[in-house]
């Protein structure tokens, strides 16, 4: 994890002496630059050469001296970032994403040139608040500088990453600092989720999930409960226990609670914490199986979001449940044809042991609803390969039984730059998972695989407003963006935080 420290530098840009000063240039209708006078002077030197037109996504790196007026800037490099035309007429979500992408591009320059301290020279663009500008740029840079190198030998003089961002040309320090802190909370939580996901299956087990939650609870005075295997047996959590049968690692159900003084509503988050999915007896093919260490990304996203919740203290109660186990092939493993009983008594026939995510989520949903009576439930899971066929790596699948929640989540996702696409729930799909021998079965065949999986969960939430996010296509190999690294993306963390901020505002 590397979250750069943010300092407010004041107005006097010529005093900034760091490795790199970043200046932003927008363009007006007639392609004239909208920027500081000094930057305009610098740019005039290139007039006619069309090296830089301030288009969105365009950038130009210059080395000192930047112009005849040598004394003016003391930074050693000047990076000009194009913001494109009509920046003040963009929809909020478009503006935020443009700024994040710019931030990601800045992060790339930092990595390439091994820069540890940079200045962001905030431009004065009509219609765009400086605090918003600062917040989303910082978010983009912070998300973009992420790297996971825990298991690589380090040289002593190795680059330590970007350490400090100075915000230059700030008018209202208080407002900017407040907004930037939200951006940083998004960065911290997303980096945390990526860190968890990057840990391999042997180093991120249910025990590690539990330890993380306990530590977070101690640090921020949250309540943490870990339901261990013995208690699961007493409670009858047949889904989690079944998936765990072939494993040497004990399963855990991790519960983290944030309760403000007088909460009006309760949001319940449930994340799939499958620390490695071999498929079980319905074994997966060897190719690509390694990626199944990421099958805990839903749980990681839910827990990581709690970090931001704990820091920001919204006025809504948030309960986070992460059922966690791996899905292995030991002698006790469940077999196709086995029948299990979920928490609350619903029986299920196991048709395919690789459809295990829904089994552990079902217990957590049923238990959470009974225990916490939530007003809204959001579950997150790398649940089906089918969602990749449907939506590629560009959209998270959203399925819900409630219009209000759907709208709110879509809005939050769009502001977060994490697009979701809704798929239907329908009785016809629920029929596909009717079983001859039990109440339901755990697969509905290949057709509509994402939807039948959601219908399985639907059985356990009934009428409680609920939304299911299938992040199998977006939790890693996510659509390419400057601020998304290779490997786990930390998807849905920022959507959750955004959503909770709105409800708890």
Residue 485 binds which of Mn ion, Zn ion, ligand BES, none (CB < 5-8 A, kind-dependent): none
Q: Give 295 or 455: the residue with its C-beta nearer to ligand BES.
A: 295
The Cβ-side half-sphere exposure at 289, using a 13 Å CA radius, reads 14
Q: How far is the CB of 335 from ligand BES (least distance, A)?
A: 14
Among 169, 192, 443, 489, binds ligand BES (CB under 6 A): 443
Q: Does 277 bind Mn ion (CB under 5 A)?
A: yes
Q: How far is the CB of 295 from Zn ion (least distance, A)?
A: 4
Residue span 277-306 as binding mask against ligand BES, x where in contact by CB under 6 A, dash where not: x-----------------x-----------
272 is catalytic: no
Nearest to 465 by CA among 401, 407, 408, 411: 401
Residue 380 binds which of ligand BES, Zn ion, Mn ion, none (CB < 5-8 A, kind-dependent): none
Q: How far is the CB of 325 from ligand BES (least distance, A)?
A: 12
Give the whole-angstrom CA distance, residue 206 versus residue 296.
10
Give the whole-angstrom CA distance, residue 504 versus residue 264.
9
Q: 91 vs 9, 86, 127, 320, CA distance in Å?
A: 29, 10, 11, 32
Q: Which stretch binds Mn ion (CB under 5 A): 11-19, 103-111, 130-138, 354-362?
A: 354-362
Q: How far is the CB of 463 from Mn ion (least distance, A)?
A: 28
Minimal CB distance residue for Mn ion: 354
Q: Which of 55, 284, 481, 502 is catalytic?
A: 284
- Whose tokens are 């494109």? That residue is 84
Q: Which stretch binds Mn ion (CB under 5 A): 9-17, 172-180, 252-260, 277-285?
A: 277-285
Residue 26 binds which of Mn ion, ligand BES, Zn ion, none (CB < 5-8 A, kind-dependent): none
Are the C-beta atoms of residues 24 and 122 closer than 8 Å to each other?
yes
Residue 19 φ then ψ, to 5°: -65, -30
Nearest to 75 by CA among 8, 10, 7, 19: 19
Residue span 350-379 as binding mask against Zn ion, x where in contact by CB under 5 A, dash where not: -------x----------------------
Q: Does 382 bind ligand BES (CB under 6 A)?
A: yes
Q: Give 400 or 443: the residue with its C-beta nearer to ligand BES.
A: 443
Give the interface size with Zn ion as a residue count (CB under 5 A). Answer: 4
Residue span 459-478 as binding mask against ligand BES, x where in contact by CB under 6 A, dash where not: -------------x------
Task: Provide DSSP, 135-175.
Answer: HHHHHHHHHHT----TTS---TT------EEEEES-S-HHH
Task: Please report which helix (H) or strand (E) contains residue 94, including its range.
Answer: helix 92-113
Are the C-beta atoms of residues 22 and 120 closer than 8 Å to each other?
yes
Nearest to 457 by CA among 351, 318, 346: 346
Q: How far is the CB of 450 from ligand BES (least distance, A)?
A: 8
Among 356, 363, 418, 455, binds ligand BES (CB under 6 A): 356
Q: 102 vs 58, 258, 486, CA distance in Å?
A: 9, 34, 18
29 is catalytic: no
Question: Which residues have CB under 8 Å from 82's CB, separation 6+?
Answer: 25, 26, 27, 52, 53, 54, 55, 56, 57, 58, 59
Q: Which of residues 68-127 bind ligand BES (CB under 6 A)?
A: none
**Beta strands at 347-349 and 440-441: parallel, antiparallel or unpaired:** parallel
Q: Give 357 or 397: the residue with its C-beta nearer to ligand BES.
A: 357
Q: Which stretch binds ligand BES (CB under 6 A): 15-23, 47-55, 190-198, 384-392?
A: 384-392
**Token pair for 92:** 């909020």
Are the C-beta atoms of residues 443 and 355 closer than 8 Å to each other?
yes
Give the whole-angstrom CA distance, residue 150 versus residue 204.
13
Query: Within 10 Å of residue 5's Cβ, how many Cβ atoms?
Result: 11
Q: Does 326 bind ligand BES (CB under 6 A)?
A: no
Residues across the chain = 505
Residue span 355-374 as binding mask against Mn ion, x where in contact by CB under 5 A, dash where not: -x------------------
Among 116, 214, 352, 422, binds ligand BES (CB under 6 A): 352
Q: How far is the CB of 271 from Zn ion (least distance, A)?
A: 13
Q: Does 351 bind Mn ion (CB under 5 A)?
A: no
The 10 Å CB-count burial string (b at 16+, else e) for 108-124 is ebbeeeebebbbbbbbe
The 10 Å CB-count burial string (b at 16+, else e) for 233-245 is eebbbbbbbbbbb
Q: Which stretch binds ligand BES (CB under 6 A): 202-210, 213-221, 377-385, 393-401?
A: 377-385
- Whose tokens are 């048709």? That residue is 351
Q: Which of residues 248-277 bind ligand BES (CB under 6 A)?
A: 277
Give the whole-angstrom CA distance, residue 478 versus residue 499.
21
Residue 384 binds which of ligand BES, Zn ion, Mn ion, none (CB < 5-8 A, kind-dependent): ligand BES
- Residue 320 pairs in a beta bridge with 256, 269
Among 354, 379, 418, 477, binds Mn ion (CB under 5 A): 354
Q: Does 397 bind ligand BES (CB under 6 A)?
A: no
- Judged by the rule CB under 5 A, the positions of this chain that interact with Zn ion are 274, 277, 295, 357
* Residue ranges binding ligand BES (CB under 6 A): 277, 295, 352, 354-357, 382-386, 443, 449, 472
Residues that bind Mn ion (CB under 5 A): 277, 354, 356
Cite the active site residues. 284, 358
């Amino acid at each position: 994890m590397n979250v750069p420290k943010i300092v407010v530098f004041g107005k006097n840009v010529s005093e900034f002496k760091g490795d790199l000063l970043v200046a932003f240039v927008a363009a007006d209708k007639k392609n004239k630059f909208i920027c500081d006078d000094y930057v305009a002077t610098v740019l005039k030197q290139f007039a006619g050469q069309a090296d830089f037109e301030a288009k969105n996504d365009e950038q130009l790196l210059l080395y000192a001296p930047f112009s005849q007026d040598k004394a003016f800037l003391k930074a050693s490099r000047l990076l000009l970032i194009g913001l494109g035309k009509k920046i003040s007429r963009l929809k909020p979500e478009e503006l935020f994403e443009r700024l994040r992408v710019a931030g990601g591009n800045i992060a790339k320059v930092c990595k390439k040139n091994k820069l540890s301290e940079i200045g962001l020279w905030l431009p004065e663009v009509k219609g765009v608040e400086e605090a918003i500008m600062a917040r989303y740029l910082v978010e983009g840079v912070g998300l973009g500088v992420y790297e996971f190198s825990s298991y690589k030998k380090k040289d002593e003089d190795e680059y330590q990453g970007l350490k400090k961002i100075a915000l230059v040309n700030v008018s209202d320090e208080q407002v900017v600092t407040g907004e930037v802190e939200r951006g940083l909370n998004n960065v911290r939580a997303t980096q945390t989720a990526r860190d968890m996901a990057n840990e391999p299956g042997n180093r991120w087990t249910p025990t590690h999930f539990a330890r993380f939650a306990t530590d977070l609870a101690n640090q921020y005075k949250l309540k943490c409960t870990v339901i261990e295997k013995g208690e699961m047996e007493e409670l009858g959590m047949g889904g989690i226990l079944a998936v765990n049968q072939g494993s040497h690692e004990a399963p855990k159900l991790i519960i983290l609670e944030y309760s403000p003084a007088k909460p009006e509503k309760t949001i319940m988050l449930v994340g799939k914490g499958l620390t490695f999915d071999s498929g079980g007896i319905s074994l997966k093919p060897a190719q690509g199986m390694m990626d199944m260490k990421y099958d805990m990304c839903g749980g990681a996203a839910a827990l990581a979001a709690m970090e931001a919740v704990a820091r920001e203290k919204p006025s809504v109660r948030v309960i986070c449940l992460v059922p966690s186990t791996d899905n292995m092939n030991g002698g006790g493993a469940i077999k196709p044809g086995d029948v299990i009983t979920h928490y609350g008594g619903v029986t299920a026939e196991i048709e395919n042991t690789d459809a295990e995510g829904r089994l552990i989520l079902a217990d957590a949903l049923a238990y959470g609803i009974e225990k916490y009576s939530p007003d809204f439930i959001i579950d997150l899971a790398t649940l089906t390969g089918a969602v990749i066929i449907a939506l590629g790596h560009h959209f998270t699948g959203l399925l819900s039984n409630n219009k209000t929640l759907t709208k709110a989540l879509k809005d939050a996702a769009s502001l977060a730059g994490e697009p979701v696409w809704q798929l239907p729930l329908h009785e016809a799909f629920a029929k596909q998972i009717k079983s001859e021998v039990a109440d339901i079965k755990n697969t509905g065949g290949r057709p509509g695989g994402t939807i039948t999986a959601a219908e399985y969960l639907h059985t356990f939430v009934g009428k409680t407003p609920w939304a299911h996010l299938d992040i199998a296509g977006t939790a890693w190999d996510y659509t390419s963006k400057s601020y998304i690294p290779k490997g786990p993306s930390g998807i849905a963390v920022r959507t959750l935080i955004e959503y909770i901020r709105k409800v708890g505002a």
